[in-house]
Amino acid sequence: MSDFLFKNATVVDGTGKPPFEADILVEGPVIRQVGRMDGARAKRTVDAQGLVVCPGFIDMHCHADFSLPIVPSADSLVHQGITTAVVGQCGLSPAPLPQSNREEVIVGLSAILSEVEEEIPWSEWSSFGDYLLFLRRLGVSLNVVPLVGQGTIRSGIMGFREGRASEEQMKGMQEEAAKAIQQGAWGLSTGLIYPPGSYASTDELKELMQVVAREGGFYFSHIRGESETLVEAVAEAIRIGRETGASVQISHFKAAGRQNWGESKKALALIDQACKEGLDVYTDMYPYTAGSTTLVAFLPEWAQEGGKEAVLGRLSDSAIRIKMTEDMMKGGFAKSVEWDTVLITGSPRKPEYQGLLVSDLAARVGKTAHVWIFDALLETNLQIHIALFAMSEDNRKREIRHPLMTFCTDGMGFTAMGSLPRSLTHPRSYGAFPRILSHYVREEGILSLEEAVHKMSGLAAKRLNLKDRGLIKPGTAADLVVFDPVKVRDRATYDNPHQYAEGILEVIVNGEPVIHEGSHTGSRPGRILNRL
C-alpha cells in the first residue's frame, strides 16, 4: 500500500504545460503514478478537489544556512511551499572557519547577521563539511543546495582587508574553495558590494572560479552594482562565466534608484546576448520593490575595512566622519539614496527605531541623515537592517516575465513564534512565493498559473541540473505543494512581516508531510542535496 494518494487534483506539473485533472500516488520519497487511479489505495488519501497540486518550490537565493542551525523547521519558508533552498549566498556562508582568522570571520559576519548571530552555534563546525554534517545530524524541514561564500573564504585567509591577494594567499583561497566543493558545495557565491567581497578584483574572482568551474561548480553572484553600474556589473559576471566556463546565476536582479530604472532592459539584453553565444547564464528575483541590507552597507567601502572594531573606531572620529560623508555623496551604495525610502526593519539594540524611516529619525533629533546613520551604527554596534524602496513596479512586471528569470526570497527561515525573530525583517522571508501566485498571477495576470509554477519549480530545477525534482512525474522526488488557487496569498507586510502565507494547505518534502492542513508538522525530512 502506498503512503499518499491525492485524488481529483488540478495538477500543474512544473513543465509550463496547462493544468490537468489527475490523481497522484506517492510511495516513500518518490512519486509512483500520475493519472486516474480509481482503485488505488494508500495509507492517507487527500481529496484535492478544487485545489492545485504542483512541485515544491525552489528558492534560488536564500540565507537560511544561518537560520537553520537555530530554526531547523524553516517555518516561514516551508509555509510558502518552498521545499528546496539554495543557500550560502552573497559571498557569505557559515563555513569554512580556518583557525588562523576564525574569530575575525565570525565577528565580521555578525555585523551582517544581527537578527540571528547571537544564537548561531559557531563552535559546532570549522570546515564546510563539518557544517553540512551538523545540519544532517540536526535534521531540517527542507532540502538544501549549499554554496560556499567567496567573502567567507577571503576573510578566512586575508581578514577583512583591502588589497590584492599574494600568490600564497590566492593559493590558500583556491585550496579552501576546492575543499568546500569536495565536501558538498555546489559552487561559489559572491557579494561584490560588501567587504570583503568588494575588495576582490575580477582577475582574483576568475582565479578562484577556475578551481570551482573545473569541478562543474556554479558561480552565483550578488553583482558589483545594482544601480548606475548595473550593466557593467552584469557584464563582469558574464565575463567570469565566459573565461572560466562556469554556469552563472545573477542574484536577485534589480535596477535600484529611479534614475537607473532604464538600465533594467539593457542588463536583461546582456543576459540574452550571452545565452545566444552559448553561455549558461540565468538570473533570479524577489517580487518586491524594496530590497534589504544592513545600514553599514551605506558607508564607503574603505570605511568598512578591517572588521567591526575598525569600523566603530572610524565612526567615532569626527574628521573621518567628514570624509565618509563626502564620499557617500560622491559615489558608492549611498549615492543618490533618498533617505525617506530607507526603512529600519531590524535594530535589536534600539528596537524603537524599527518601522521608521531614516529621514524621520534624523529630523526628530535635528541631525543630517549621514550624522544620524553614524550615531545609530555606533550605539547599535553596527546591528541595523534596512529595507530600501528603490525599484520600479513596471520593471518588476517585465523582469518576472523574462524566460531565464527564476524566483527567490533572499531571506531566512524564521518562526513567527518564540524568541526569533526580534526584528521586523523583510516580508519576503514569509511571502515571496505566495505573492507571485496572488499578486502577479491572480490579480495582475502578468504570468499564467502554469508559467509561474514552472519558474518556481521546473525551470529552477533545470537550472540546477536537479533531474529528480521540480516536476510531477513518476520517479521524481515527492516534493509537493497543495494550495487553493483562489485563496493563496502573502500576508507579510513591512509593518507586520511575521505572518505565514494563506492558502498553502499541504507541503510534502521527500514524501513526508511538513505542512498539513496549513500547520507545520514538526517533521524534518529535508536533505543536503548532492550535485549531479
Q: Which domains does the chain have, with CATH numbers?
A: 2-55+474-488+498-520 (2.30.40.10), 58-289+390-464 (3.20.20.140), 294-389 (no CATH)
Q: What does the pLDDT average to over 302-323? A: 92
On the question of pLDDT at 115 being above 80, the answer is no
Q: What does the pLDDT average to over 66-78? A: 96
On the question of pLDDT at 117 being above 60, the answer is no
Select from 527, 517, 515, 524 the least CA-distant residue to 79: 515
Higher pLDDT, 272 or 106: 272
Higher pLDDT, 532 or 259: 259
Q: What does the pLDDT average to over 180-185? A: 98
On the question of pLDDT at 116 being above 90, the answer is no
Peptide bond into 69 cis (omega under 30): no
pTM: 0.95
Report the pLDDT value the prediction gives residue 83, as an integer from 0 to 100.
98
On the question of pLDDT at 419 being above 60, the answer is no
Q: In angstroms, what CA-CA distances link 355 with 358, 388, 423?
A: 10, 12, 9
Distance CA 262, CA 382 (A): 33
Q: What does the pLDDT average to over 276-293? A: 96
Q: What does the pLDDT average to over 353-358? A: 94
Q: What does the pLDDT average to over 99-119? A: 78
On the question of pLDDT at 161 being above 80, the answer is yes
Report the pLDDT value the prediction gives residue 417, as an integer from 0 to 100.
79
Per the DSSP assignment, residues forming a β-bridge with 30 are 27, 477
Q: What does the pLDDT average to over 386-396? A: 96
On the question of pLDDT at 111 being above 70, the answer is no
Distance CA 223, CA 229 (A): 10
DSSP-derived 3-state class of residue 222:
strand
On the question of pLDDT at 422 being above 70, the answer is no
Q: What does the pLDDT average to over 508-523? A: 97
On the question of pLDDT at 336 being above 80, the answer is no
Report the pLDDT value the prediction gives residue 348, as an integer from 0 to 100.
84
Select from 202, 192, 282, 184 the least CA-distant residue to 244: 202
On the question of pLDDT at 398 being above 70, the answer is yes
Q: Given pLDDT bands bounded at 50, 70 and 90, which one contains residue 346? A: confident
C-alpha cell at 317: 572620529
The torsion angles phi and psi of 183, rounded to 5 degrees, stand at -90, 0
pLDDT tens for 30-58 read: 999 999 988 888 899 999 999 999 999 99
**Spatial CB neighbours of 499, under 8 Å, sequence gap ≥ 6:** 416, 430, 431, 491, 492, 493
